Amino acid sequence: MSDRRFFVGGNFKMNGDKASLDVIINNLNTVDSPNDVVVAPPSPYLSYVASKLTSNVKVSAQNCYKVAKGAYTGEISPAMLCDLGISWVILGHSERRHVFNEKDELIGQKVKHALQSGLNIIPCIGEKLDEREAGVTEQIVFEQMKHIKDNVEDWSRVVIAYEPVWAIGTGKTATPAQAQEVHEKLRKWLADNVSNEVAQSTRIIYGGSVNSGNCKELAQGKDIDGFLVGGASLKPDFLEIVKANA
């Protein structure tokens, strides 16, 4: 077993209201785990959730912009997140890439600015179905990694999320072998392009239709250091996923 601490993130996406979040928070307040557990509510609820969590569960934003302030209507900045005591942010999620058309270059700029501002980041990468079928998965995820890597100085504040786009919200989870295969290649890529030390210490987590039924088997992959969970993070099942490695 690696000495990388298992990491489970819950990405609520654009879901929840105060009443349903209260139920989730009550559940999260029972979490007693040595793992890192981080949840990402929609931005209007960041402070609400953070103020009600009594357990060791941390709060993350789902996105932020590449500068500290200014005339960018609708955006939120890392400085604002830090001001609220929020310590994590997800960047480059596939829905940001494919629904909001965010490109690698912008995601790289966000990575740089978020780290410079003191946040911990969860940059996301992953291939689309046609890319997997065309046999270019590696090429795609390595290119995405390059834009992230070029903007990272402190890898201790980075958790890479590999989320194959075809597995997100579809119920089609990557098999444990498919996930492990890509994670292993990503770790080798880090060794070849950053350093062996960073490759060994950086958490690479899997996302895409993770649930209480498939999490334990996925967690056995030696390069799978945790999960980024969408739909199931809104359900009581999330507590099972949090201890998938136990």
**Is 93 annotated in the active site?**
yes
Shorter beta-carbon distance to ligand 13P: residue 90 or 199: 90
Residue 16 sits in the site that holds ligand 13P (CB under 6 A) = no
Query: According to CB under 6 A, which residues from 69 to 98 bind ligand 13P?
Result: 93
Shorter beta-carbon distance to ligand 13P: residue 178 or 209: 209
Residue 228 sits in the site that holds ligand 13P (CB under 6 A) = yes
Query: According to CB under 6 A, which residues from 160 to 189 bind ligand 13P?
Result: 163, 168-169
Shorter beta-carbon distance to ligand 13P: residue 93 or 199: 93
Shorter beta-carbon distance to ligand 13P: residue 60 or 199: 60
Say which of 95, 163, 184, 240 is annotated catalytic: 163
The only residue of 208, 225, 226, 244 in contact with ligand 13P, by rule CB under 6 A = 208
Strand partners, 90: 122
Q: Residue 88 region, left (φ>0) first, then alpha (ψ -120 to 50), else beta?
A: beta
The Cβ-side half-sphere exposure at 57, using a 13 Å CA radius, reads 29
- Other C-beta atoms closer than 10 Å to the C-beta of 138 total 15
Minimum distance of ligand 13P from residue 182's CB (angstroms): 15
The answer to whether the beta carbons of residues 226 and 7 sit under 8 Å apart is yes
Give alpha helix (H) positions in the chain.
18-28, 46-52, 78-83, 94-98, 104-116, 129-133, 137-149, 176-193, 196-201, 215-219, 238-242
The answer to whether the beta carbons of residues 206 and 227 sit under 8 Å apart is yes
**Is 153 annotated in the active site?**
no
Residue 226 sits in the site that holds ligand 13P (CB under 6 A) = no
SS3 162: strand
Q: Which contiguous run of DSSP H or E holds residue 169? A: none
Letters for 110-149 (x = contact with ligand 13P by CB under 6 A, - = none) are ----------------------------------------
- Other C-beta atoms closer than 10 Å to the C-beta of 208 total 27
The only residue of 8, 11, 178, 237 in contact with ligand 13P, by rule CB under 6 A = 11
Residue 209 sits in the site that holds ligand 13P (CB under 6 A) = yes
The residue number with the shortest CB distance to ligand 13P is 230
The interaxial angle of helices 137-149 and 176-193, nearest 10 deg, is: 40
Minimum distance of ligand 13P from residue 107's CB (angstroms): 15
- Positions marked catalytic: 93, 163
Query: Which residue ranges make up the site for ligand 13P (CB under 6 A)?
Result: 11, 93, 163, 168-169, 207-210, 228-232
